Structure 1
Amino acid sequence: MYKILAINLGSTSTKMAYYEDDVCINRVTEDHPTEDIVKFSDIMDQHKYRKEIVEKFLKENGIDKTSLDAIVSRGGHTKSLEGGVYKVNSEMLLQQASGMYGRHACDLGSKIAYEMCKESKAIPLVVDPPITDEFDPIARLSGHPLMPRKSSFHALSHKATAKRYARENGLKYNELNLIVVHLGGGISVAAHKNGLMVDGDNALDGDGTFSTNRTGALPVGALAKLCYSGKYTYDEVKKMLNGEGGLVAYLGTSDVRTVEKMAETDEKAALCLDAMIYQVCKEIGAMTTVLCGDVKAILLTGGIANSKYVVQKIKERCNFIAPIVVFPGENEMESLARGAFESLRGEETIRELTEDCI
């Protein structure tokens, strides 16, 4: 029997689950209030805060870390990689710490896994990291050669949801055209064509719709003017884009449940919530053109997919494209554990990031 700890650090939550083989024994999600997160000037500064939460989970559930066979995390930001299972090594940690390839709480996950595995026989792993790159060449052109579009979004969630849809419907993922929408602290929409994510928005640093705490795409002229106004530092602008944008910037909260209640009596809250949904639908429409209108299904996942209001509004605008199937919450923990389990059994190759990776 293999003992596996799965951790998934999101922008506003830390998810933890303990598996024995492919069976989940314990699972907890720790939500982080905005007032706690904004205390940290940089995401990497949350290291001690997040690690203590993971250690607490192990202690409260009587899990001996020295007995673990693998600690698997949602991957972080490095050079582009193919999808799959990777062992966390020093090169991966170095690239993540540099911030050259993006910055997100998930970068801390692999670091925590690596550190905790030093204290046991466990192998530190990541599965389908957010820099998984399967874009078509045509999707990379942005409008200027110095700023190419890049694949950087919720790859694990997308892949897990698409594979689950295929599995539950007796279909093969590599034979389907799907649009997958991850609705969480960040929102991403991607076109899946025959098992590859051929286009999507860079949900980390600026493409697509605004979300609970991210701005999404902004008017570029206004952004350039703001950057050179002399009023803001680079770090302040980065935090504005990711962490203090979206619903937080408009309404002071990143909790969609709170916003829905506010919207019942507050016109501004209602407008902001509907605008976020409106932008999601625009992105779905864009990905429909990528697939030339040949879409088997639109899959909604993530925490916000629990909202009946959000789902209904998306259906009203997008039902004409393809059937909309909802997988509320996320399938990421199961996907992490399955990837680790299959690799421990030798069914999945464990790869390693090197300097030579693309």
Structure 2
Amino acid sequence: MFKILAINLGSTSTKMAYYEDDICINRVTEEHPTEDIVKFPDIMDQHQYRKEIVEEFLEKNKIDKSSLDSIVSRGGHTKPLEGGVYRVNNEMLLQQASGMYGRHACDLGSKIAYEMCKDTKAIPLVVDTPVTDEFEPVARLSGHPLMTRHSRFHALSHKATAKRYARENGISYNEINLIVAHLGGGISVAAHKNGRMIDGDNALDGDGTFSTNRTGALPVGELVKICYSGEYTYDEVKRMLNGEGGLVAYLGTSDVRTVEKMAETDEKAALCLEAMIYQVCKEIGAMSTVLCGDVKAILLTGGIANSKYVVQRIKDRCAFIAPIVVFPGENEMESLARGALEALRGEETIRELTADCI
């Protein structure tokens, strides 16, 4: 029997689950209030705050760290990688710490896994990292050769949800076309063609729809003016894009449940919520053209997919494209544990990130 700790650090939550083989023994999600998160100037400054939460989970559930066979994380931002299972190594940590490839709380997850596995038998692993890159060449061109479109979004959630849909319907993920929308602290929409994510939003750096705390795509001219206004530093603008954008910027909260309640009596809140949903639907429509209209289903996942109101509004606009199937919450923890288990059993190759990975 293999003992596995899975951790998944999101922008506003830390999810932890302890597995024995493929059986989940303990699982918890710690939500982080906006007022706690904004205390940290940079995401990487949350390291000790997040690590203590993971250690408290082990202590509370009487899980001996030395008994673990693996600590597996969602992974972070490095050079583009093929999908699969990777061992966390120094090169991975260096690339993540540089911030060259993006910045997100998930970068802390692999660092925490690496540190907690020191002096134990446990192997620190990541599965289907956010930089999983399966884009087709045409999807990479942005409009200027100095700026390339990158595959940086919720790859683990997308893959897990798509494979679950295929498994539950007795069909092969590699033989169908799907549109998957991850609706969480960040929102990303991607086109899945025959088992590959051929196009999608760069949900980290400013692409696609705005979300609870990210701006998504912005009017480029207006953004340039802000950058050269002299009123904001580089770091302040980056935080506008990721962490202090979206619903937080408009309404001061990243909790969609709170916004839904506000929207009952507040016209501004109602407009902002509707605008976010509207942009999600625009992205779904765009991805349907990527797949030439050949879409088996539209899959909605992530925490916001628990909202009946949001789901219904998306159905109102997008049901004509393909059937809409909802997987509320996320399947990421199961996917992390399954990936680690297959690697420990030798059914999946454990890969190593090197400096020349492309």
- TM-score, scaled relative to structure 2: 1.00
Q: How far apart are 1:222 and its partner, in Å?
A: 0.2
**For residue 287 of structure 1, what is the amino acid of its counterpart?**
M
Structure 1, residues 292-325: CA drift from partner, whole Å, max 9, x if none?
0000000000000000000000000000000000
Does residue 309 (structure 1) correspond to residue 295 (structure 2)? The answer is no
Does residue 354 (structure 1) correspond to residue 354 (structure 2)? The answer is yes
Q: In the alignment, which residue of structure 2 is the partner of 1:9? A: 9
Q: Hey, what's the Cα distance between the residues in 2 that align with 1:216 and 1:357?
A: 28
Structure 1, residues 165-210: CA drift from partner, whole Å, max 9, x if none?
0000001000010000000000000000000000000000100000
Does residue 156 (structure 1) correspond to residue 169 (structure 2)? The answer is no
Q: Hey, what's the Cα distance between the residues in 1 that align with 2:57 and 2:356?
A: 37
Alignment of 1:252-267 (within 5 A): 252-267=252-267
Structure 1, residues 17-48: CA drift from partner, whole Å, max 9, x if none?
00000000000000000000000000000000
Q: In the alignment, which residue of structure 2 is the partner of 1:89? A: 89
Hey, which bits of structure 1, 4+ residues long, moved more than 2 A?
Answer: none
Q: Hey, what's the Cα distance between the residues in 2 that align with 1:118 and 1:86?
A: 17
Q: Hey, what's the Cα distance between the residues in 2 that align with 1:329 and 1:177?
A: 22
Q: Which runs of 5+ in 1 are unaligned?
A: none
Q: In the alignment, which residue of structure 1 is the partner of 2:297? A: 297
Q: How far apart are 1:119 and its partner, in Å?
A: 3.5
Alignment of 1:217-296 (within 5 A): 217-296=217-296
**For residue 245 of structure 2, what is the amino acid of its counterpart?**
G
Q: In the alignment, which residue of structure 2 is the partner of 1:112? A: 112
**For residue 171 of structure 2, what is the amino acid of its counterpart?**
L
Q: Hey, what's the Cα distance between the residues in 1 that align with 2:349 and 2:57?
A: 29
User: Secondary structure of the residue that 1:124 maps to in structure 2?
Assistant: strand
Q: How far apart are 1:285 and its partner, in Å?
A: 0.3
Does residue 123 (structure 1) correspond to residue 108 (structure 2)? The answer is no
Q: In the alignment, which residue of structure 2 is the partner of 1:197? A: 197
Q: In the alignment, which residue of structure 1 is the partner of 2:321? A: 321
Q: How many residues align?
A: 358
Percent pairwise identity: 88
Q: Which runs of 5+ in 2 are unaligned?
A: none
Q: Hey, what's the Cα distance between the residues in 2 that align with 1:354 and 1:348?
A: 19
User: Secondary structure of the residue that 2:147 maps to in structure 1?
Assistant: coil
User: Secondary structure of the residue that 1:142 maps to in structure 2?
Assistant: strand
**For residue 5 of structure 2, what is the amino acid of its counterpart?**
L
User: Secondary structure of the residue that 1:143 maps to in structure 2?
Assistant: strand
Q: In the alignment, which residue of structure 1 is the partner of 2:208? A: 208
Cα-Cα RMSD = 0.3
**For residue 275 of structure 2, what is the amino acid of its counterpart?**
A
Q: Hey, what's the Cα distance between the residues in 1 that align with 2:176 and 2:352?
A: 29
Q: In the alignment, which residue of structure 2 is the partner of 1:174? A: 174
Does residue 344 (structure 1) correspond to residue 344 (structure 2)? The answer is yes
Q: In the alignment, which residue of structure 2 is the partner of 1:188? A: 188
Q: How far apart are 1:356 and its partner, in Å?
A: 1.3
Q: Hey, what's the Cα distance between the residues in 2 that align with 1:90 and 1:57?
A: 26
Q: How far apart are 1:120 and its partner, in Å?
A: 1.4
Q: In the alignment, which residue of structure 2 is the partner of 1:50? A: 50
**For residue 340 of structure 1, what is the amino acid of its counterpart?**
A
- TM-score, scaled relative to structure 1: 1.00
Q: Hey, what's the Cα distance between the residues in 2 that align with 1:10 and 1:145?
A: 32
Q: Hey, what's the Cα distance between the residues in 2 that align with 1:238 and 1:244?
A: 9
Q: Hey, what's the Cα distance between the residues in 2 that align with 1:357 and 1:217?
A: 28
**For residue 259 of structure 1, what is the amino acid of its counterpart?**
V
